[in-house]
Structure 1
Amino acid sequence: MTSPVDPVEGGAPVAEPVPPGPRRAWAIDTTPLRNPHFRRLFWGVAATMLGQQMTLVAVPYQVYALTGSSLMVGVTSVVALVPLVVFGLLGGAIADSMDRRRLLLVTGVGSAVTAVLLAGQALLPGGGDLALLWVLTAAMSGLVAVNQPTRSAVIPALVGDAGVPAANALAMTVRQVGVIAGPLLAGLLIALGGLPVTYALDAVGFLVAVWLLRGLPPLPPGRDAGPLRLGAAVRGVGEGFAFLRTQPVLLMTFVVDVVAMLFAWPQAVFPELAEGRFAGSPAALGWLFAGISIGALLMGLTSGWVSRVDRQGAVVIAAIAVWAVAIIGFGFAPTLWLAVLCLAVAGAGDMVSAVLRSSMLQLAAPEGMRGRMQGVFLVVVAGGPRLGDLRAGAVASAAGVTVAMVSGGVLVVAAMVVVALAVPSFWAFRASRSAQPPARG
């Protein structure tokens, strides 16, 4: 078979679609894995996820160990949010202005170096230094903020438009494997005093991903991309938002996720629950961090139906409502197993929402705009939970974990009802009626 990516001179790569496999109602569609270049991307994602998710457990644990405050755990999320927003937006513009393979390699190496430095600071006297931990967390956030939208932007070029929903489901499912195994392994290593090893494994994962991604072909940006300059990148961010203003349905894909994550993201309260309500349960911290991804993984493995959803807007709203109701249940849960079950249900709803929202963006945006749209997507997907950490940590410190979770879940359910009534175009959006708009800017 010929190479699935043939660079077009001066423009974007053209994908050779893989013929669809046997149609199954529920099982995940693995057709994109027949594409050798997508397989490299897929296993590159898999390689990074275990260590990366271990780091996402280790950082809040270390902050709580140093300060004893859930509020400071939330503040740490905000420390990471600023570079995530700045470099997420700029990174999307950069990904539309240079070879995306090269950008993936540069950010992967940078992330590995930062993870090594995180391991080093964990060896400092007293269990680490909060200020240095914040600086390195911010650096890692900035690098990942450039890497992730670039990685998402290349998917249509590798698998073709028809393969995008299935490719997204595969990529998000393999992430969930790491998000489940990573926290459980992190909880075990941390309990054994292995915080530096936890960070070091993140570096190993990034280096493996770099080795895999070196085998990708050149992935040039869209035809209209100019030379890479800071001013051009900044202007590109503005052009991306100008494009987004012309696409109200796509704009709402960001709004509904911001609402869900801002008011119902539970991660900031996990350390407090592990040392309080569930203190008698072994590895409680790891199970809490893994709970959402357990549900997301199970949904991903049975996501064959998701790639065939036509009423995408309505299903996104319903999935977010499921997330919110499950978080309400989590707030009341008196036992660890029930809390993890509620988190798993929430994760299943979030998985459906994420696959459909990402697919809507990748297919609706023209090739020269995909990096910027994925940059905004990353800012929303990763930035929303960080703001949610701050809200949850503050409310939990003032009124308790139950109030923080239940109040947030109720607000999200109410907001989804408002969206369905106030923005009927989003509720009625059908994939079969969507068309890629012309490039702007």
Structure 2
Amino acid sequence: MDNDNPAPSQLPTAALNGIRVIDMSRVFAAPVGAQILGDLGADVIKVERPGVGDDGRGYGFSWVPGKDGIETRHSSFFTVSNRNKRSITLNHAAPEGQEILRELVKGADVLIENYKVGDLKRFGLDYDSLRAINPRLVYCSVTGFGQTGPMAALPGYDGLFQATGGMMAVTGVPDGQPGAGPLKTGPSLVDFVTGHNTALAILGALMHRHATGEGQYIDIALLDSSVAMVSHIMQDYLISGNAPPRLGNGGNGGGPADLIHCSDGIIYLTAGTDEHWRRLTVLMERPELNEDPRFDTNLKRGKTSRAELMEIINAWSRRFTTPEMQSMLDGAGIPAARYNELADVWKDPQVQHRGLRATTPHAYAASGSVDLIASPLSRMSASPATIRMAPPMLGEHTGEVLGELGYDTARIAALREAGVL
């Protein structure tokens, strides 16, 4: 599906204005990285398989409804990770497709791919082949296990790395309680963080190129991100040699930090410093608890005596509604937040104030727009991240991009007929 509209204008203040990215990635992690670059102003050209497209178009539970019977193929996975991109369809296994990609690479700054290790080398589209065309190219490969090692050739998805990297070992219901055991987080967090690491590495490589004039190769692995994500809990293990227990909803630092139950809902409380704890004991009208030997250190409140303390707090909190409790805790300067179901998130006054629901025009959606999640980078004072385009239809910009390379209408039609596009 082609769009005859001109290429999207870029804000003069966009941080990556003038940077062109070739996005040959699929599904989620790497597309998130490419999207971040697009949010920051880069011209991202998404290369998809003719007739099939990104596998992520079929992932998720919901699709954006199209108008006039059009199937947008904008699944939740695809929609959340592919805005600010132009889509072309291209068969890179065909010599003509490889020629087009090489033409694109000549004028590109970045190429992102997440094919199996060595797969693109068969087509002369690996880093060594393409840097001969463009020595300034930043080439980023995103895989499950990395480019080398005994597991490099294996496929990998988010859940595998939550299991392998330690995230599930520290997430879930504490041992000894009903339903105890490891749990995967709800969202695909390893994919999401890997996407951010992808963008961060590319930005670093662009800064290096600015200083030296040289591009470079980047090897990003979900495994690496999954281990790093365990962060301070993994560091606890490296320091002590002891694996911290799963704490369920409990905090990983000071305590008390956990869900507390009110008469009509739930609030998350983090009284994580000695002063916050002292204030809480005053608020509860139980100041003697501050000196109680069961609770007189953060370690005791957050770990060894945690269950006993949370019983005491919940017996008190159930006497109040959530608005009453939130007001009391806010007034005492004790960090707390009401638990929100997904629908409640968008009613939250601070979420609304920050403009986190970004309604974006969508020419092919039944409603004429699609609601997206705003970039957390949109508050940069001089070069904010922006949403300029809804996620693209499959091949929506093929004619446009090839026209920029000098291909005329007849040649594009012939390539379509040959199955290259």
- TM-score between the two structures when normalised by the length of structure 1: 0.24
Name the one with the larger strand percent.
Answer: 2
- TM-score between the two structures when normalised by the length of structure 2: 0.25
| Larger RCO of the pair (alpha carbons < 8 Å, separation 6+) | 1
